[in-house]
A and B are shown apart, each in its own frame.
Chain A
Amino acid sequence: MTARFVRDAPIDARSAPVAAIAWPLRWRRAWFATPAMSALSLLLLALFAFACVRFFDWAIVRAHWVGQSSAACPGDEGACWAFVIARWKPWLVGNYPIGQIWRAWACFGAFALFWIWVVRRPTAARPGPVLLGFVFLPVAFLLLLIGGGPLAFVAPSQIGGLLLTLVVTLSTFATALPTGLCIALGRRSELPLVRALCGLFVEGMRAVPLLAVLFIAVTLLPMFLPHGVDVDLFTRAVIAFALFNAAMAAEVFRGGLQAVGRGQIEAATTVGLSRFATLRWIVLPQAIPAVVPALVNIMIAVIKETTLLSVIGVNDLLGAVEIGAKSPDWVGESNILTSGYVFLALAYLAICYSLSRYSRRLEPSS
C-alpha cells in the first residue's frame, strides 16, 4: 500500500517554451515577408473576411429565431434557427416519452460527468478504468432508458436524436472493442482454423461498405432467423455497427500486439508464466496503451457513421432533422433544411474536433 500522496502515474510533459519573438515581428515575417506574399495574404484575408461576413449575415443578422412553423422563416436570406429551437425534443431525444424524459437527462448528465473525469486524468494514466467505464456505461444507459420492472417500459424505437447517437456509439464501442481484441488475438493463434476464420472475417468486413452491412442486417438478417424470432431495427443496426467496427478495431489491436517485441513473450515463457498470464500481465499492458489514440479515432469514425442510421430509417440526429423538415409545420421553405444541416454540421464538428484533439494529446510525444 503506497501512501496517498505518492503519484501512481507520471505527470504530463510540460509544454515547450514559447519562442521569444514579439508577435508583430512574427506576423510580419510569416505573412508579409515579400510583396508577392503580402498580396496573397491580403487576398486570402479579404476572401476570409467576405465569407465570414456573409455567414454572420446569414446566421445571425437575418436569422429567424422564434416561431412554431415555417411561416416564421420566410425567404432564404437568413437562417431558420426557429426550426432548430422549436424541435429541440426530436433532435435531442427523439420520440422519448416526455414524462420519462428525466431518464434521458440522467444519461446525458452521467456521460458528461464521465467524460469530464476522463479528460482531466493525466494522459499517461492506465487506460483500464476508462475502458471499463465504456463497457459499463452503455449497459447502464440501455437498462435505464428501456426500463421494465419498477421503471415504465419504453420501446428502443422511441429513442432518437442525440440520445440515440450517444447510445449507439457507446454500445458499438462496448461490443466492438472486446470482439476486435479477441479477433486480433485469434489472428495470432497457433490453430490454423481459428486464424483462417478470424482473417476471413476481418478481410471480408473491410471489403464491404458499412451501408451494405447495414442493409444486410436490416433486410437479410430476419430471413436467417427461425420463424417467429424478431429482432427490432435498433438492435439489428447495433449488431451491424458492432461487427463492422470489430473488424476495424481488430486491425488496430493487431498493430498494437505486433508492437510488443517477441523477446517479451519469450522472456515471460522462460520465467514460467502460462500463456494466459503472459497475455494478461505482459502483452496487453503494453499493447493497449499504445493503441488508445487509434481507438479514439475509431470512436470518431463511429460517431460520424451513426448518420447512416437515417438511411435505413432509424431516427438518429440526422434523421430527426430530415423528418422535421418534412413535417407539415415546417415544409415549404428550402432554407429550413439548410439551417438544420448547418446546425448538425456545427454539432458534429464540435464533437469530433474535440475528440480528435483529445486523441492527439494521448499520442506519445516524440
Chain B
Amino acid sequence: MLRAVLRERLSGYVVQALLAALVAWLAWAAVANFRANMHALGVSVGFGFLRAQAGFQIAQSLVPFGPASSYLDAVIAAALNTLLVVLLASVLSTIIALLVAFGRLAPHGIVRSASTVYVEVFRNIPLLLQILFWYFSAIALLPGVADSLQFGGVLLNNRGLFLPLGADRPHVEGFDVAGGIAILPELMALTLGLAIYNSTFLAEIFRAGIVSVPSGQIEAATTVGLSGTRAALLIVMPQALRVALPAAGGQYQTLAKASSLAAAIGYPDIMQIVGGTIASQTSQALEAMALVVVMYATINLCIALVVGVANRRLLARAHG
C-alpha cells in the first residue's frame, strides 16, 4: 500500500524535477545568450541610465519636464499621461455605456435599434483603426487655428481642444492659441477611440446587470410612485452594478492595456516614451520593456484593487 502511494508520488516528483531542470536550463541559456550578445554590442546592463539626462521633449506633461530632466522624470511623466487617458476614457465610456445599456432595453423601438447598431458597429471595428480614424480623418478635418470653432470659452481646432482655466481664457494669438488648458489632438483621438470601443463592451456588461434585476423590483418601484428615471437610478442601478462590477472591472483593465495603442499616433504614454523613445535612445531595450511590463501590471493590479474595494462596499451595503 505504502509502496504504491510512494510509486505514484515518485513519478510526480520526477516530472516536476525534469520540468524544473528544463525551465532552469532555458533561463540559463537565455541569460547566457543575452550576456554574450550584450557583450558583443558593448552595452552595459542595469537601471543606472535612469539618472542620466534625457535630452528630449515630451509634448504633454503633467509634471514639469524639460530637456535637462532625467530619464526617470520621463518615465514618471509618461506614466501620468497613461493614467490621464485611462481615467478620461474610463469615465467617458462608462457614461456612454450606461446610456446605451438603458437604450438597448428601452420600450422605444428606434432607441433600441439605434443602441444595438451602435454596439454592433463599434465593437466589430478594430480599436486601432478607430483611433487612427479619429486622429487622421476626423480631427484633421477640424478648422485651423485662425478659424477655430468657439463654444463659450472653449476653442476647438486641429491643434486640439482648449479649455478655460478660471479667468485664463484661451484665445488665438498669431498662429497659435494662448491661455487655458490645451488638450492635444492625440489625447482627444485616443480618449474618443478607447471610450467608444470599450463602451460597447461595457454596455453589454451593464445590460446583463440590468436584466438580472427581477422585474418585480421595477414593478414595485412604479407602484410606490417612482418615475421611470428615478426607478432606474435608485432601484435598478444599485442592484445591476453589483452584478456588473466584476466584469466591468475586467473591461477597465482591458481599456488600460489598450491605451498602449497611443504608440501608433504618438501620444506620449508609457508605450511611446518608455518602450519607444527611451528604449531606442539608450539601447537599454530590456530594462525599458521590463519597466513597461511592470508599469502596466501595476496599473492593472490597482484597477483590480479599486474594483475589489468598490465591490465589497456594494455587497456590504446590500447586506448591512
Residues on A close to B: CB < 8 A?
27, 30-31, 33, 37, 40-41, 44-45, 48, 76, 190-194, 197, 204, 206-212, 215-216, 219-220, 222-227, 300, 303-305, 307-308, 310-311, 318, 334, 337-338, 341-342, 344-345, 348-349, 352-353, 356
Query: Are A208's CB and B297's CB within 8 A?
Result: yes
Q: Which residue of A48, A76, A345 contacts B125 across the interface (Cβ within 8 Å)?
A: A345
Residues on B close to A: CB < 8 A?
12, 15-16, 19-20, 23, 29-30, 33-34, 36-38, 40, 107-111, 114, 120-121, 124-130, 132-133, 136-137, 140-141, 257-261, 263-264, 271, 275, 279, 285-286, 289, 292-293, 296-297, 300-301
Query: Are A215's CB and B275's CB within 8 A?
Result: yes
A/B interface sample: 30 pairs, CB < 8 A: A31-B108, A31-B109, A37-B108, A41-B109, A190-B12, A191-B15, A208-B293, A209-B271, A212-B271, A215-B275, A215-B292, A216-B289, A219-B279, A219-B285, A220-B289, A222-B37, A223-B34, A223-B38, A224-B30, A224-B34, A226-B36, A227-B40, A303-B126, A307-B129, A338-B136, A341-B133, A341-B137, A345-B125, A348-B124, A348-B129
> A344 CA to B126 CA in the complex, in Å?
9
The 6 lowest CB-CB distance pairs between A and B, nearest first, are A30-B109, A352-B124, A209-B257, A207-B297, A209-B260, A304-B126
CB-CB under 8 A for A227 and B36, given A40-B108, A190-B12: yes
Identify the closest chain A residue to B117 (Cβ). A48
Q: How far is the CB of B245 from chain A (nearest CB, A)?
A: 19
Identify the closest chain B residue to A29 (Cβ). B109
Residues of B close to A305: CB separation below 8 A: 126
Identify the closest chain B residue to A37 (Cβ). B108
> A349 CA to B128 CA in the complex, in Å?
14
Number of A-B contacts (CB under 8 A): 151
Query: Are A318's CB and B128's CB within 8 A?
Result: yes
Query: Are B108's CB and A349's CB within 8 A?
Result: no
Residues of A close to B136: CB separation below 8 A: 334, 337-338, 341
Residues of A close to B258: CB separation below 8 A: 209
Additional pairs, 12, CB under 8 Å, beyond known A44-B110, A220-B289, A310-B264: A41-B109, A44-B111, A48-B114, A191-B15, A193-B16, A207-B293, A212-B260, A216-B289, A308-B128, A311-B263, A356-B120, A356-B124
Query: Are A345's CB and B129's CB within 8 A?
Result: yes
Residues of B close to A204: CB separation below 8 A: 297
Q: How far is the CB of A360 from chain B (nearest CB, A)?
A: 11
Query: Are B285's CB and A220's CB within 8 A?
Result: yes
Identify the closest chain B residue to A308 (Cβ). B128
Residues of B close to A224: CB separation below 8 A: 30, 33-34, 37
Q: How far is the CB of A296 from chain B (nearest CB, A)?
A: 13
> A45 CA to B259 CA in the complex, in Å?
35
> A33 CA to B141 CA in the complex, in Å?
40
Query: Are B125's CB and A349's CB within 8 A?
Result: yes
Query: Are A215's CB and B128's CB within 8 A?
Result: no
Residues of B close to A227: CB separation below 8 A: 33, 36-37, 40
> A210 CA to B34 CA in the complex, in Å?
23
